[in-house]
Structure 1
Amino acid sequence: MSRSEAGAESHLEWSLPVPSVQELAKQQPHTVPSRYIIDDMDSFITTVDTDSDDHLLRVPLIDMTKLVNPDSHKEELQKLHSAFKHWGLFQLINHGVPNEILGNIKEEVQNFFDLPLQEKKQSAQKPGSLEGYGQAFVTSEDQKLPWNDMIFLKALPVENKNVNLWPQKPPTFRETLENYSEETRKVAVSLVRFMAMGLEVEAEDICKAYQGGRYEVRMNLYPPCPEPGQVIGISPHADNSGITLLLECGNMPGLQFLKDGKWVTVMPTDDAIVVNIGQISEIMSNGIYKAPDHRAVVNRVKDRMSIVTFCYPDSSINVGPAKELIGSGNPPLYKTLTHSEYLHTFNNRSLDIPFIDLLKI
């Protein structure tokens, strides 16, 4: 939801049912239904400088093997710290997730979205929850809709899983997602360790918190659109996670991040994971790292799919600036909240105010 659609306070842990964009696209319409047309689309695109190559800049590339190699660790850690500080994101290669698992999860997501609509609806969202097949944060019948379908599932810890919403078809979907989620947890724990090193704060507690933390997976399908300049795949937003890991399922670009007032397209790199800072880490770093605004755009000719894992520390960790980053010359810029207070604030906020602004002192 764009900020221009904001109204009174909304409870964002549920979503109204909406039509399938995939089914709409199959009809090959020449125009887009009015509910998908963004009235203030100019505000989405005016920051793109189409006369330059800025929107095609390459985001930083970080190599996990160099981070763990003593001979290259220092230099690569500085690159990671700089990427988080100046970009809020990077593409991670050699991350350790086996190619077989990457291939399997991409195939299973494709196979799920290829199912007949009625079979996908067996995993449809239930009233009062975002989890399942449908759309996120739809809180009114006249709200503008993004051009995507999704299935959102809570993966870890295992007791958080709503097995009734995990698709039974394709038959290996559940096992594949479980395996992928375990691998992304390993990546997340490693990354927060290096993040703590870059900030020069104590790492062990935060690593334990992510080892036992929450991992929630959103699988997105962006069908072809006859008027891609009139719609948005996902409206500009920053994530409320600790970190977010995104895997592209093909080579179709669509993810864009806002940097220095311009939208930068993330060009897919084979089997790389896009890592971006969430607002929990922005707060923990006392603003040294910034959770970047990002969005998804669509195209006229080809599906795009992505798998996004939102990684949160467990609820034992308060959300606030790290004590090592606070001192006489460095006052805290953000409040310290319990985990439940942080989530309550997010889910019950007024949408016309950026969430991070509610947490600033």
Structure 2
Amino acid sequence: MEEKKAFANSPVTYEGYGSRLGVEKGAILDWSDYYFLHLVPSDAKNLDKWPMVPCNLREVTETYSRKLMNLCEVLLKAMSRSLGLDEDYLHVAFGGSDGISACMRVNYYPKCPQPEILSNGTYKSIEHRALANSGDDRLTIAFFCNPRGDLPIAPAAQLVSPGSPAAYGQRPISFNEYRKYVRTKGARGREQVEAISLANKLLHEQQQAPAAEE
């Protein structure tokens, strides 16, 4: 426990050891512990949160992150082409080589005596598929390739038309804004982006409706 406290994170950043996301009072707690590390860019790392045991952890993690970043570059190009955009579109939209960031989260799920009964069947692992079970502990590793935090994120202009309006709001949102939402309220799946999408859909319908006769 003392070692966990030494590497504990704070409400300001995920980095280090934690057992919940979000600081909102009364938020649902995760049935897991996690260890979160910033990987890219280098100046985002807090090496005080990087354990020294095992002794090769830093070297292995750095090598792993470089290989995954190379994979991310390939995937961003493939996704851009599949959307009919220039292959470098998403790379640039993410901030380019100097703007793209990456982080890693290792999750530990202890055995849960009654995984779904505890929540009366309300909590179901639908989106991320990390379902606790009563037989075994589980360990997962998630790698995140993120856009530069302050860049406005919006649909590509080539993908927006009168028949296909922007689905996620008239005002672009930055990754920093989205991350602040998660750090405040905890992980809530697609709740935030769905709320933005619904608000924009209603606005679009109002704009398309014929003006009322006076």
Band of TM-score, shorter chain: 0.7 to 0.9
> 1:120 Cα shift?
3.7
- Matched with 2:3 is 119
Q: Counterpart of 1:337 in structure 2: which amino acid?
A: P
Cα 1:327–1:229, aligned 2, differ >3 Å: closer, same or farther?
Answer: closer
1:206 and 2:90 correspond:
yes
Relative to structure 1, the CA distance from residue 345 to residue 144 in structure 2 (aligned partners, 3 Å threshold; closer, same or farther) is closer
Determine which of 190, 193, 198 is the counterpart of 1:356.
193
CA contact (8 A) 2:80 2:89 kept: no
Secondary structure of 1:294's counterpart equals coil
Correspondent of 1:325 among 136, 159, 166: 159
How far off its partner does 1:316 sit?
A: 6.4
How far did residue 314 of structure 1 move? 2.1
Structure 1 residue 144: Cα displacement: 4.0
Aligned match of 1:20: none
* Matching of residue 299 in structure 1 with residue 133 in structure 2: yes
1:89-104 equivalence runs, <5 A: none
Say whether the 8 Å CA contact 2:21–2:182 is kept in structure 1.
no
Contact 2:22 2:185 in 1 (8 A): no
Give the CA RMSD over aligned residues. 2.9
Aligned residues: 188
The partner residue of 1:187 within 71, 87, 91 is: 71
Structure 1 residues 130 and 193, CA, compared in 2 at 3 Å: closer, same or farther?
same
Following superposition, the deviation at residue 295 of structure 1 comes to: 4.0
Question: In structure 1, what is the Cα distance between the partners aligned to 2:183 and 2:31?
Answer: 23
Task: Work out which of the residue numbers 6, 9, 17 in structure 2 matches 1:133.
Answer: 17
For residue 152 of structure 2, give the secondary structure of its aligned residue in structure 1: coil
Which one of 41, 44, 60 corresponds to residue 176 of structure 1?
Answer: 60
- 1:147–1:231 CA contact under 8 A, matched in 2: no
Return the alpha-carbon distance in structure 1 between the equivalents of residues 8 and 44 of structure 2.
17
Q: Does 1:227 align with 2:114?
A: yes
CA distance in 2, matches of 1:200, 1:122: 49
Q: Which secondary structure state, in structure 1, belongs to the residue aligned with residue 116 of structure 2? A: helix
Q: Is the 8 A contact 2:101 2:145 kept in 1?
A: yes
Shift of 1:143: 4.4
Distance in 1 separating the partners of 2:196 and 2:50: 34
Given the superposition, is the C-alpha separation of residues 189 and 136 from structure 1 closer, same or farther in structure 2, using an over 3 Å criterion?
A: farther
Q: Which runs of 5+ in 1 are unaligned?
A: 1-116, 237-255, 259-292
CA contact (8 A) 1:148 1:222 kept: yes
Deviations 1:193-226 (A, max 9, x none): 1111111112214224364411111100112222
TM-score (norm 2): 0.74
- Residue type of the alignment partner of 2:75: L
Residues 231 and 311 (structure 1 numbering): CA distance in 2 closer, same or farther, change over 3 Å? farther
Contact 1:319 1:342 in 2 (8 A): no
Q: 2:204: which partner in 1?
A: none
> What is the letter of the counterpart of residue 164 of structure 1?
D
Gaps of 5+ in 2: 201-214
Looking at both structures, which has the greater relative contact order when contacts are Cα pairs under 8 Å and sequence separation is at least 6?
1
Match for 1:321: what amino acid? P
How far the C-alpha of 1:162 sits from its partner, in A, is: 0.9
What residue is the counterpart of 1:66 in the other structure? none
| Residues 206, 313 of structure 1: 8 Å contact kept | no
The superposition leaves residues 221-273 of structure 1 with CA deviations (integer Å, 9 ceiling, x where unpaired) of 112222233358xx66xxxxxxxxxxxxxxxxxxx5x4xxxxxxxxxxxxxxx
Residue 145 to residue 231, structure 1, CA distance change in 2 (3 Å): farther
Which of 164, 172, 182 pairs up with 1:337? 172
TM-score by length of 1: 0.46
Counterpart in 2 of 1:155? 39
SS at match of 2:10: coil
CA distance in 1, matches of 2:21, 2:12: 11
